[in-house]
Amino acid sequence: MAVPRTERRRRGRLDMRLQGRAALVTGGSSGIGAAIAEELAAQGASVTISYFKNPGGARSVVERIEQLGRQAIDVRADVRRKADVEELFRRHLERFGRLDILVNNAGDMVQRMPTTETPETVWRDALDLNLSSVFFCCQEALPRMTAQGWGRIINISSVGARTGGGPGAIPYHAAKAGVIALTRGLAKEVAAHQITVNAITPGIIETPFHARHTTPAQRAEWIQSLVPLGRPGRPEEVANLVAFVASDEAGYITGATLDINGGMAMY
């Protein structure tokens, strides 16, 4: 069984595979993003997290990272807006001077509704938040990573990009499928600079995301009928995978889509 990061810290056994690296995690104030930011820090990285609506959560994540003896800052940014993304990266570089790891985690379903009832605003919001934000952040990251001759870009997609997802969420899953295509194309474009680009597709993970968009009864039914392991995933399990993909050990993995879904979709 994996040892929780707090217990590793108590025992003096923090991993150091990311020592000296600087990471930026979008949507890092709660759920999967918060777990990713904390795990990258536990493995030695300095971390910037972006948030939009949850300053208290962002501040709590920064404080937990600082308790590990690492450096962290939080920056409010609407990553749907290129100007906000530019300011986010400026703030990161002002503090840490380099960018080694970018985790494009920010995203949301926006709203569940049938396709015929989905207004243009919901469609565009879902694409901008889940896909345009990834593109804008990659645009900002690449010049820095190219100059260094090293970089890791990790894009958080969704199992729904593989399967079409649950009811009433076509804009979200279409955008997440776009993230996979963007990942593969970009991986080819930047491979010569020793920059890897990979996507991760979580399944049903216990986060505020599911609490907002799925009833407990629906979650229980889906887990029972769709997940062979018979349980939801934990944010820390996704974070552990991200930390590995961000490390030197994963240097020969690029353009990949890595599933973490308890067997919900097997390929």
The model's pLDDT over 130-175, given as tens digits with 9 standing for 90+, comes to 999 999 999 999 999 999 999 999 999 999 999 998 889 999 999 9
* pLDDT given for residue 210 in this prediction: 64
| β-strand partners of 233 | 205
2 exposure class (CB count in 10 Å sphere: 0-12, 13-18, 19+): exposed
Q: What is the CATH number of the domain that holds 238?
A: 3.40.50.720
Residue 226 domain-assigned (yes or no): yes
Q: How confident is the model at residue 199 (pLDDT cuts 50, 70, 90)?
A: very high
Residue 137 domain-assigned (yes or no): yes
Q: What is the dihedral angle through the alpha carbons of 244, 245, 247, 250, rounded to the nearest 10 degrees? A: 100
pTM more than 0.85: yes
Residue type, 253: I
Task: Identify the DSSP state of 30.
Answer: S
Give the total number of structural domains in the chain: 1
Residue 5 domain-assigned (yes or no): no
Residue 30 domain-assigned (yes or no): yes
72 contacts: CB under 8 Å, gap ≥ 6: 37, 41, 46, 47, 48, 49, 61, 62, 65, 66
Residue 85 domain-assigned (yes or no): yes
- Is 172 annotated in the active site? yes
Q: How confident is the model at residue 14 (pLDDT cuts 50, 70, 90)?
A: low
Return mean pLDDT, the chain: 93
Other CB atoms within 10 Å distance of the CB of residue 127: 18
Residue 265 domain-assigned (yes or no): no
* pLDDT given for residue 262 in this prediction: 95
Question: How many whole angstroms separate alpha carbon 105 and alpha carbon 115?
Answer: 25
Residue 11 domain-assigned (yes or no): no
Q: How confident is the model at residue 215 (pLDDT cuts 50, 70, 90)?
A: confident
- Give the lowest-confidence range in 6-10, 15-19, 254-258: 6-10
Provide the percentage of residues in the chain whose pLDDT is more than 90: 84
Domain, as residue range, for 127: 16-260
Residue 91 domain-assigned (yes or no): yes
68 contacts: CB under 8 Å, gap ≥ 6: 5, 9, 14, 38, 41, 42
Average pLDDT value for residue range 76-98? 98
Question: How many whole angstroms separate alpha carbon 126 and alpha carbon 111?
Answer: 9
Residues 166-182 have pLDDT tens digits of 889 999 999 999 999 99
| Catalytic residue (one of 51, 172, 252, 267) | 172
